[in-house]
Amino acid sequence: MPTNVLIAGGGPAALEAALALHRLAGDRVATTLLAPESNLTYRPLSVLAPFAAGSATTYPIERMATDAHFTHYRGRLARVDAAAHAVVTVAGEHLPYDVLLIASGAHPIEPFSGATTFTGSLTDQERLHGIVQDVEEGYVRRIAFVVPPGSTWPLPLYELALMLAERAYQMCAALELHFVTPEATPLAIFGADATGELAGLLAEAGIVLHAATEAKVLAPGRISLGADGDLLDVDRLVTLPRLEGPRLPGLPSNPEGFLVIDGHARVQGVADIYAAGDVTAFPIKQGGIACQQADAAAADIARRAGAAVEAKPFTTVLRGMLLTERWARFLRHDAADAPEQADVAGRALWWPPTKIAGRELAGYLEGLDEEAGRDLGLPVSVDVGTHGTDGIEVLGLR
C-alpha cells in the first residue's frame, strides 16, 4: 500500500512538496493536496501591478495535480487530530493521513492603523495604484514606507519604494520618500555586500533611510521614529503585514503560534507531521526558503515510503531578486558562509531567474509558461551576462 500523504496548503511550499514527492517517491506515495484555492498565484510579481508594469501569473492547480499525480481536495485545514492521524476541515470533514505536511501559511495582520498594507491581493494592488496616481497628479508629496516589527519579508517594500521613486522622477513630481525599518541595515539578512548595494540604490533614488528604527503611528499621517520619538508627518504610509502564527488546534506551537520544526521539517512534539513555509517558527518568511523546507520534508517522507533517496536536512540558501521597472538585482547568501558574504549581481545568479527559487517549482512553472507562450513576467530582460553560465546555479528540474 502506498503511503497516504496529505499536504495542507496551496502555496509554493505545498506545491514544491507535491512535485518533489512525485519525482522522488512515485507510486510509493498517494498524495492529496488540501487547499481552497483553484490556482497558484505567483504573488511576488504583484508589486509590478500598481505601476502597470506586470502582474502576478496564475497557474491552475488541477493541471499540476494531473502532472504530479496528486488529488486536489478543495477545503481548508481547521485542526489536527494527531492521535487519530486525521485532519478536520473548516467544513467539518475528516481526512485521514499516514503523513501530514502543513504548508498553510501564517495569518497576515495589519500592523498600523490608517496605513496601506500591501499583501499582494488585487485590492491592495488597486490601493497602491491609487497612490501612484496621486503622486503622478501631484496630490501627494511625502510618503513613508515602514517595515513592521516582528515576522515579515521586507524585500517587496523596498521594490515598491524604489519603483515609486522611479515613477516620480519620470513624471517630474515633487516627492519626498522615507523608508523606515527595524533592520540594522537594509536587507541585512543577505549580508554586508547586499546591504551596501541596496543602501546605494536608495540614496541614488533620493529615499531617506531610517534603519534600526521602529515606527509608531500616533495619528493619521503622524509617525514617531525610534526611541527618541522624532516625528515624521506624511501624506501616506505604506507597510507590509506582520505575520502571526495560526495556532493550529491539536498541535504544539511556540508563543507566537508557529510550528517548531527540525532540519528535516518535522514538527517537534508530534509524530508523522511535517511543516514548511510561513506556518513554521523559522525566522525567514520567504518563498524560496519555504521550498527548501518542503524539499527536505519530501525527501524524508520519500525515504520513509521506501524510496532510495538520501534525506538531508535543509540548509538555508537565501536567494532574492530585487526588481523594479528598469533593473533587477540578484542577491544570494548561503548561511554556511560568513555573515557578511553575499553574491550581488545585475545578472542572473540562478536559472530559471525566478522570484521563488524552488528546485522543483521553478523549472515546472517555466515549462508551463513556455507552453502558454508566456515570458517570465519581468519588466526587464534578465540573462547570464558576459560571464555566460559561469557561476549560474541551475534550479529547474524538468
For 42-94, write each residue's pLDDT tens digit: 999 999 999 999 999 999 999 999 999 999 999 999 999 999 999 999 999 99
Three-state helix/strand/coil letters over the chain:
CCEEEEEECCCHHHHHHHHHHHHHHHHHEEEEEECCCCEEECHHHHHHHHHCCCCCCEEEHHHHHHHHCEEEECCCEEEEECCCCEEEECCCCEEECCEEEECCCCEEECCCCCCEECCCCHHHHHHHHHHHHHHHCCCCCEEEEECCCCCCCCHHHHHHHHHHHHHHHHCCCCCEEEEECCCCCCCHHHCHHHHHHHHHHHHHCCEEEECCCCEEEEECCEEEECCCCEEEECCEEEECCEEECCCCCCCCCCCCCCECECCCCEECCCCCEEECHHHECCCCCCHHHHHHHHHHHHHHHHHHCCCCCCCCCCCCEEEEEEECCCCEEEEEEECCCCCCCCEEECCCCEECCCCCCCCCHHHHHHHHHHHHCCCCCCCCCCCCHHHCCCCCEECCCC
Average pLDDT over residues 177-197: 95
Higher pLDDT, 388 or 54: 54
- Longest pairwise C-alpha distance within the chain: 67
Q: Do 219 and 138 touch, CB atoms closer than 8 A?
A: no
End-to-end C-alpha distance for the chain, whole angstroms: 28
Please name the residues in contact with 350: beta carbons below 8 A apart, sequence gap of 6 or more: 319, 330, 332, 357, 392, 393, 394, 395
Work out the pLDDT band at 376, boundaries 50, 70, 90: confident
Sequence letter at residue 294 = A
Residue 396's pLDDT is 62
The three cell numbers of residue 27 are: 507510486
Position 280 pLDDT exceeds 90: yes
Q: How far apart are CA 7 and CA 181, in angstroms?
A: 35
317 bridge partner residues: 334
Looking up cell 533587477, which residue turns up?
Answer: 328
189 HSE (CA, 13 A, CB side): 18
pLDDT digits (tens, 9 = 90+) for 299-313: 999 999 999 999 999
Residue 384's pLDDT is 54
Looking up cell 481536495, which residue turns up?
Answer: 73
Please indicate whether the domains covering 3-107+243-304 and 108-242 agree at the CATH topology level: yes
Count other C-beta atoms under 10 Å from residue 250's C-beta.
16
Arithmetic mean of pLDDT over the chain: 94
Residue 337's pLDDT is 77
Position 390 pLDDT exceeds 70: no
Q: Which CATH architecture has domain 108-242?
A: 3-Layer(bba) Sandwich (3.50)
Question: What's the residue count for the chain?
Answer: 398
Residue 375's pLDDT is 82
What distances in angstroms separate CA 209 from CA 107, 172, 184, 205, 377, one per listed residue?
A: 28, 22, 11, 11, 29
Residue 285's pLDDT is 97
Topology of domain 3-107+243-304 in CATH is: FAD/NAD(P)-binding domain (3.50.50)
Please name the residues in contact with 272: beta carbons below 8 A apart, sequence gap of 6 or more: 82, 85, 97, 98, 99, 100
Q: State the pairing for strand pair 107-109/116-117.
A: unpaired
Residue 128's pLDDT is 98
Average pLDDT over residues 14-21: 98
Q: How far apart are CA 30 and CA 10, in angstroms?
A: 17
pTM for the whole structure: 0.95
Q: What is the dihedral of CA 185, 186, 189, 192, to 10 degrees?
A: -70
Average pLDDT over residues 125-144: 97
Sequence letter at residue 226 = G
Residue 386's pLDDT is 46
Position 319 pLDDT exceeds 80: yes
Average pLDDT over residues 167-190: 96
Position 235 pLDDT exceeds 90: yes
Helix axes 61-68, 12-25, angle to 10 degrees: 20
Poorest-confidence range of 82-91, 184-193, 249-258, 330-339? 330-339
Please name the residues in contact with 178: beta carbons below 8 A apart, sequence gap of 6 or more: 142, 143, 144, 145, 207, 208, 210, 232, 234
**Residue-wise over 322-355: b if at least 16 C-beta within 10 A, else e?**
bbbbeebbbbbbeeeeeeeebbbbebbbbbbbbb
Residue 140's pLDDT is 96
Domain spans in the chain, listed from the N-terminal domain onward? 3-107+243-304, 108-242, 317-394
Q: Do 44 and 156 touch, CB atoms closer than 8 A?
A: yes
Residue 389's pLDDT is 55
Main-chain phi, psi angles of 98, to 5 degrees: -90, -40
